[in-house]
Amino acid sequence: MPQGTITKALSGYYYVLPEGAELAAANTITCRGRGVFKNRNITPLVGDRVMYEETENGEGTVTEILPRTSELIRPPIANVNLVVLVFSVTEPVLNLQLLDKFLVHIENTGIDVLLCFTKSDLLTADSDASGAKDMTVAELERITKLYEGIGYTIQKTSSKLHEGVESILQHLDGTVSVFAGQSGVGKSSLLNEMISGLNLETNAISQRLGRGKHTTRHVELMPLTNGGLVADTPGFSQLDFMEVEAEGLGDCFREFAAIAEGCRFRGCLHLHEPDCKVRDCVADGTIAASRYDHYLLFLAEIKDRKRRY
């Protein structure tokens, strides 16, 4: 039975690229999933390696989903090597709480992550800052130093000035990657720069709401010139913690994980327990207060979820 990869899922159809074929719409086979998938509450995902059988009308049926190496729930995609987490420095302004929430979800999957800060051409010089929504050069440098110190790779880009695109492409060389992030941060604009002739729809930011419209409505893998595959995904501004447990939240903060081994109690939640090394590091500035504050917010959200369910 032939094998392939789901490159797009839309309205109950799965577009399967046969193994060894070049990624192009003309080469994909339009398939339906077996009824047994629905009965077992299994959903084939973009990125899934599958077995399929062709039908008489030239279409096909996905008969088996092969084991996954990774899986993301939001965005729904499988077998990804790298998540490019895209946040703009302004319009909408960089939201560190939301950034940390995305990072928790990605760390929980074990997939590598690259932070991409877009719209760097809109940075404001320190002397020109006129309000809380202005991101200054110095503030972005502080944020960059913080997250690089934690261990994240950061790339700044500007689609308007055509800056940073080649560097992003080098990180994506030979990988299956997904672009994720809040709506209106420039994911589609960046992909348009990276893939010639792509022309994904882009929309301006709503000045009243401070966020963009969803210009991407489904997940789809697209080929890069370096042999990699990349997926643009629908933007969103809210995430829940259905997949993250309270006991595992600290492990999703990279700088907590190693230090927590020195806590007196195994499974320390870093709240009020005595001899908590994580709280000691927050007190002496080794761990950023903003990261710990976000940890506490997320922990409360997880506990509240448990009470409600």
| Token couple for 242 | 């259905």
3-67 CATH pick, 3.90.1300.10, 2.40.50.140, 1.10.287.3510, 3.40.640.10: 2.40.50.140
CATH 2.40.50.140 residue ranges in the chain? 3-67
Output the DSSP codes for 59-118. -EEEEEEPPPS-EETTTTEES-SEEEEEEESTTTTP-HHHHHHHHHHHHHHT-EEEEEEE
- CATH no. of 246-308: 1.10.40.50
Pick the CATH number of 77-232 from 1.10.760.10, 3.30.450.20, 3.40.640.10, 3.40.50.300: 3.40.50.300
Annotated binding site: 118-121, 181-189, 263, 268, 270, 276
Angle at 286 between CA 93 and CA 142, to 5 degrees: 30
pLDDT tens profile 90-109: 888 899 999 999 999 999 98
Rounded to whole angstroms, how far apart are CA atoms 230 and 191?
9
pTM: 0.83
- CATH 3.40.50.300 domain range(s) in the chain: 77-232
* Closest among 279, 263, 270 to 299, alpha carbons compared: 270
Segment 198-217, tens digit of pLDDT: 766 655 443 433 444 444 45
CA distance readout (Å), 137 to 72, 121, 123, 144, 158: 33, 10, 6, 10, 14
Cα 190 to Cα 296: distance, rounded to the nearest angstrom: 33
Dihedral (Cα; 67, 71, 76, 78), 10-degree rounding: -50
Task: Output the known binding site for GTP.
Answer: 118-121, 181-189
Cα 139 to Cα 65, 74, 104, 134, distances in angstroms:
46, 29, 23, 10
The per-residue pLDDT for 57 is 87
Cα separation, 72 vs 45, whole angstroms: 9
Per the annotation, binding residues for Zn(2+) are 263, 268, 270, 276
pLDDT digits (tens, 9 = 90+) for 123-166: 888 766 555 567 899 999 999 999 999 999 999 998 788 889 89
For residue 135, give the DSSP letter.
P
